Each structure stands twice: as structure tokens, then as C-alpha cells.
Amino acid sequence: MDGKLSDASSPATPLHIALVTETYPPEVNGVALTLARLVTGLRQRSHDVQLIRPRQTKLEAPARGPGLTEVLTPGLPIPGYPGLRFGLPARRALHRLWSQNPPDIVHVATEGPLGAAAVSAARALNLPISSGFHTNFQAYSHHYRLGWLRGLVTRYMRRFHNRTDLTLVPTVEMARELAADGYRNVDVLARGVDTQLFSPRRRSQELRQSWGATENTLVVAYVGRLAPEKNLSLVTEAFDAIASRQPGARLLFVGDGPSLTFLRQRHRRHIFAGMRLGEELAAHYASADLFLFPSLTETFGNVVPEALASGLAVVAFDRAAAADLIEDGSNGRTVSADDRQAFVMAAVNLANDPARLATLRARASASVAPLTWECIHDCFAHKLSAVLTTQRAQSKSAVTQRRPSTPPACDRFCGGDPP
């Protein structure tokens, strides 16, 4: 293995990367879509990716292509989340696979049974391991009446990630929180936004008319999973306050999830567009005016940069992506975490100040223009290469004190201050 590592210090050196995940397209969620982007970016940079994930249908065959080999493992549906699965433990199979053809590095993107098995197999073979912290399971437990599990989940997650050589998180805030909670070797890898797809140019008067909106009608939007952990009652509370002053305003929900039936039954006059992808999704963003994002459970929140890129004025809590990307009062509004009254007032004040709303919308798209996926892909490849160099050059105890360096061009989104 030393022969391989001797050439791995440069991000330009092609690597053999095993990427393990329990969610991947055609599943639709932020983690799956982000990982698909990262795989594409690695392949474009001539790296070979061995993608290991649960089989999503009985007849599904593993994909093959330039720079990509899929390995499908057994999985089961996630209760309450139709269309999503978790992988069953496969330590022996992964140990056998990697013994025969060891990757340069294993990147474990999810912390379920398959992810845990991958970490164990990689450690047994002394393979470098990186991991991604994509989902705040500790925060989710409260919303599914599993608060009694919070301590157990927190300890499991910390132990899981501390068994890897590097944990990548999407924001500086999250890196600091995890470091304070005892996570070691945490670094930042933000998420990009496709500004060619998500753009104010996608605005459609025809689509607005289908919602019963004229050019002068205020359309308030929420895009994302319709689920308890998303704090959606605050969306409807803020909109009710807006509608009390602007009776013609419309509220648009884009997405699906376990809360959809309840929301439809309770709020029949609102617009429920269902799941939208690609250009349809981009048009729904751009055809709205004000974007409300009240979630407090996000590790990033891909919808925030997508909404900004689409030219929407965003109101969010000062957390996750909003904390990194929104300068309050300049390109959007942020308020202190969990201050419901401040959130509602920020939304109402913007809705009733057309000039300020227009100013924030005009600045929003340009503010995320530097957040390209190309930069994120370069950062990801660089950090994986840095783990290889670190493992070879230093002892494990020293590794836990070192944060991999970041290409200078990507410092803003993929480095940040040390936790």
C-alpha cells in the first residue's frame, strides 16, 4: 500500500476511492443529491469511484461506467420515509472486497449499519477513512418522540466519526459545535449550487398564473421535505401574519413527506406542488418572491443557496447555510435561533416593504455566485489526498491534531477558522 500512497500527496493524482452511502439518487434528498454531485466531480477529475450503497429495487443492476463501479448491498425501507432505505451490515463482504482490491481511501457518507460496517472493515485493513456529517440525527430525535434516545445517538455518532481520520461538515458553525462536543479531526466542506440551473431567469409568469398570482401578487415559498423536524408550523404562522395585511398573498409548498397529508387537510387554500426536480424545481423557486426556511435541524440546508441563486429574499434562522451565506439585511434576513417572534416579524416586515424586498432579491443571486460545485469538487479531492499524506507521514495520535490544508481559492467555503 505504501507504493500507492507515495504518489497521493497531489490532488491531481488519480485515486481509487470507495464511497459508502445509504442514500443515493433516484432517492430525492439533500444528502443523496450532494453525494451524486461529489461522485461526478471526482470522476471528472479522473479519480476512480467504487460506489457502495443499498439496492433500491429487487431487479436493480449495479451501474458501470468510466471511473465508476457500483457495489449493491442488501437494504430495508426506513420506517416513515417511503422511498428511502438503510443498508444492512456488510462488514465481511466489504472486508473481502477491499482485501482483494484495496482502495486508496474509504469515504463513509452515512452513519447507518452499512456505514458502520464500512468503518470497521476499513480499520481492520488499515485503510485511510474519511466521513461526512450530513444529518443531525440528535436534533431529529426530538421531533419523532425519541428524545430519550438523544444521549445514546449522540455518543454513537461521536464514536462513529472519531473512528475515522477526517470528518467533513458543511459549515464552520457545525465544525465548532462538533469539536466542542468531543469530535476530533473535523474540517469544512461546503456544498455548491448550480447557478446555471437556479437563476432568476427561470421566473415564469405562466406558472405564477397557475397559482392564481399576478405579477404584483406576493408569493411566499417553502421548498424541502414536509416533515416534523422542518418546523413547518412556523411557515404557516408567518404566512398567516403576512396574509392578515396582504389577503391576496399565496403560500407555495414544494416537496413531499410525512406531513403532506396533514398540511393539505389543514391549509386547503395553500398551493402544494409536490416533488419537483431540475428545471421544474428551478422555475418554482424563481417564480416566488419570499422564501421562508424555519428549520433548526439542518447541517447545511441546500435549499438556502438554491433560493438565493434563484433571486429570492430568504428569511431563516442564523444557523447552518444561512449563517454562512446570508448577511442580515444585505442579501436576506437571519434571526437568532428559535426566536419564533423575530422570524415572523422579519417575514412580515419584508413582505410589507416592496422596495427592501426588491433590493434583497436583486443582491441574493450574486451573493452565492462564487459557491460553485467546481470549487467544492476541488476541495473534496484535495482533502481526501491530504488524509492519505497525513496517514503515511504521521502517527495516529498526531493525525487527530491536524486539519488538512485547503486550496487557497476555496478557503471561503471549504476551510474557515480551526474549530
Q: What is the SS3 assignment for 108?
A: strand
Identify the pLDDT of residue 148: 46
Number of H helices, E strands in the chain: 18, 16
φ/ψ (deg, to 5) at 273: -90, -10
* Cα–Cα distance, 283 to 113 (Å, whole number): 38
Least reliable range by pLDDT among 22-26, 83-87, 154-158, 273-277:
83-87
Short-list 358, 395, 371, CA closest to 304 = 371
pLDDT for residue 5 is more than 50: no
Least reliable range by pLDDT among 285-299, 351-365, 400-414:
400-414
The β-bridge partners of 291 are 221, 314
Identify the pLDDT of residue 333: 98
Q: For residue 407, count other CB atoms closer than 10 A to its CB.
A: 15
Find out whether 87 and 22 touch, Cβ atoms under 8 Å: yes
Q: Determine the length of the chain.
A: 419
Q: For residue 196, count other CB atoms closer than 10 A to its CB.
A: 10
Q: What is the SS3 assignment for 10?
A: coil
The β-bridge partners of 112 are none
Which residues are CB-contacts of 312 (< 8 A; sequence separation ≥ 6)?
221, 285, 286, 288, 289, 290, 291, 361, 364
Q: Tell the residue number behind the cell numbers 391576496, with chain if given.
A: 248
Q: Where are the beta strands (DSSP E) in 166-276?
A: 166-169, 186-188, 219-223, 250-254, 271-272
Identify the pLDDT of residue 147: 53
Identify the pLDDT of residue 81: 58
Identify the pLDDT of residue 2: 35
Q: What mean pLDDT do residues 93-111 have?
A: 97
Q: What mean pLDDT do residues 248-264 have?
A: 96
Which residues are CB-contacts of 301 (< 8 A; sequence separation ≥ 6)?
30, 224, 293, 295, 316, 320, 321, 322
Q: Is 139 exposed, middle or buried (0-12, 13-18, 19+ CB in 10 A)?
A: middle
As given in the structure block, the three cell numbers for residue 117 are 460496517
DSSP label at residue 47: -
Short-list 190, 193, 194, CA closest to 380 = 190
Report angle CA 289, 310, 172 to the nearest 5 degrees.
110
φ/ψ (deg, to 5) at 305: -65, -30
Find out whether 255 and 275 touch, Cβ atoms under 8 Å: yes
Residue 89, Cα to own-chain centre: how many angstroms? 24
As given in the structure block, the three cell numbers for residue 140 are 431529529
Q: Where are the beta strands (DSSP E) in 88-164?
A: 105-108, 129-132
* Sequence letter at residue 355: A
Q: For residue 401, count other CB atoms closer than 10 A to its CB.
A: 9
* Cα–Cα distance, 297 to 310 (Å, whole number): 23
Mean confidence (pLDDT) of the chain:
88
pLDDT for residue 99 is more than 90: yes
- Tell which CATH classification among 2.10.109.10, 3.40.50.720, 3.40.50.2000, 3.40.50.10490 matches the domain 2-192+373-414: 3.40.50.2000
Q: What mean pLDDT do residues 48-52 have?
A: 98
Report angle CA 415, 418, 419 to the nearest 5 degrees.
115
Find out whether 15 and 1 touch, Cβ atoms under 8 Å: no
pLDDT tens digits, residue range 129-138? 999 997 755 5
Cα distance between the two ends of the chain = 32
pLDDT tens digits, residue range 210-222? 999 999 999 999 9
Is the entire prediction scored with pTM above 0.85?
A: no
Tell the CATH topology of 200-367.
Rossmann fold (3.40.50)
What residue spans define the domains of the chain? Answer: 2-192+373-414, 200-367
Higher pLDDT, 380 or 414: 380
As given in the structure block, the three cell numbers for residue 60 are 436493480
- Hey, do 2-192+373-414 and 200-367 end up sharing a CATH topology, with the first three levels equal? yes
Gyration radius from the chain CA atoms: 22
Q: Tell the residue number behind the cell numbers 431529529, with chain if given.
A: 140
* Cα–Cα distance, 384 to 398 (Å, whole number): 17
Q: What mean pLDDT do residues 322-328 have?
A: 94
